[in-house]
Amino acid sequence: MFDLEGKTCLITGGAGSLGLAAARLLHSHGARLALVDLDLAALDTACAEAFGAAAGEVLCLAADVSDEAQVRRAVARTVERYGALDVLISNAGIFGTVAPIQDYPTEIFDSVMAVHVRGAFLLAKHGVPHMREGGSIVLTSSVAATRGDPGVYAYITAKHALTGLMRVLAKDLAPRGIRVNAIAPGPISNGFQQRVEDGLGAEIGRDGTEFFNEMIPMGRHGSPEEIAASILYLASAQSGFTTGHLLMADGGMSV
């Protein structure tokens, strides 16, 4: 059903739990992979653990997604190895911090926007010219793209901005049959979310994970594998008439 045989998929944020879960699932359906992350050593280790003997089939590349030259080079290396691109998954992200507007560090705001928004823009800018018709771009957004929570200035602003970028790209690339969508996970059981919840728990004086679970109608966090399944749908021809869509995978948190 989800045939990606011979399709080339480039995933940023490849060493994280969601990037790896998506990579494993796409690879199991025949995709050829290029994984990009800031720390090549960490990426190589994660790739070896995730793919075992098949790790050599995966192209691992180091790049800061906010640096145009590095993104251009990562795309060029991928095209050099595989010939063309079919799927781009912009998954790199950082959270920033939580603080009142008067105290929010400008440099943190800038860095979060650079990774999420500039990173997705640069991946599309340099990746799209090498994409075959009928390809797919998936931006990792968040339930934060539908919310406004006190003090979460950088992360929430960045995720809202990704929705706008996704919609512009969808209109621009539709004539080439390239679909552009975003996945909006709710809280996921992973290290990224745990760090957010530890910080929140310290601020509110209670367990941050329990606090989030109470906000989710399904009463639990999602798993990286559950989110990866939605990414697979958007990456494959099964979503052939779906573009410009923000797919909620949040256990009902945005309802």
Domain boundaries, the chain: 8-249
Q: What confidence tens digit (pLDDT) does each residue in 150-183 have?
A: 899 999 999 999 999 999 999 999 999 999 999 9
**Model pTM?**
0.95
Q: Are strands 85-90 and 59-62 parallel, antiparallel or unpaired?
A: unpaired
Count of other CB atoms within 10 angstroms of residue 156: 19
Banded model confidence at residue 210, pLDDT cuts 50, 70, 90: confident
> What CA–CA distance (Å, rounded) separates 97 from 121?
23
Q: What confidence tens digit (pLDDT) does each residue in 235-251 have?
A: 999 999 999 999 999 99
Identify the pLDDT of residue 6: 94
The 85-90 sheet, strands edge to edge: 59-62, 32-37, 8-12, 85-90, 131-140, 179-185, 246-249
Identify the pLDDT of residue 244: 98
Q: Do 173 and 72 touch, CB atoms closer than 8 A?
A: no
Q: What confidence tens digit (pLDDT) does each residue in 181-207 have?
A: 999 999 988 878 888 787 767 767 778
CATH of span 8-249: 3.40.50.720
Q: Which residue is catalytic, options 82, 104, 153, 155?
A: 155
> Among residues 92, 125, 126, 128, which one has the least CA distance to residue 111?
92
Identify the pLDDT of residue 207: 80
Residue 82 annotated in active site: no
Q: Which contiguous run of DSSP H or E holds residue 224?
A: helix 224-235
> Among residues 233, 236, 211, 189, which one has the least CA distance to residue 16?
189
